[in-house]
Amino acid sequence: MTLEIDGQTYYTTQEACKLAGTNRDTFLRWVRQNKFADVGCRDRNGWRLFTEKDLQRLKTQVNRINRTTKAGDQPD
């Protein structure tokens, strides 16, 4: 459920993950492995609240491409 507080829109973890194209378990694993810096806002129950900026960071992480080289190939 998207929330609006003082003119700022916040997304729940489930909403943010769906909009970014990943799932909650993957997101939480990335946070635990320090692959994604946790969000800075939580509600009174301690649930994460994603700002638009947090959502964009998550989308970037989801769409990140790590290039690797095969044996014998030269990196670009």
pLDDT tens figures, 17-42: 999 999 999 999 999 999 999 999 99
Q: Is residue 68 part of a domain?
A: no
Tokens found for residue 4: 């609006």
25 neighbors 36 (Cβ within 8 angstroms): no
Task: State the DSSP H helix or E strand holding residue 48, giving kind and residue range, or none if neither.
Answer: strand 48-49
Number of folded domains that form the chain: 1
Task: State the DSSP H helix or E strand holding residue 9, giving kind and residue range, or none if neither.
Answer: strand 8-10
Please give the biggest Cα pair distance in the chain: 56
- 43-75 pLDDT, tens digit per residue, is 999 999 999 999 999 999 999 988 887 766 666
Q: Is residue 74 part of a domain?
A: no
Q: Is residue 72 part of a domain?
A: no
- At CA 44, angle to CA 42 and CA 50, rounded to 5? 25
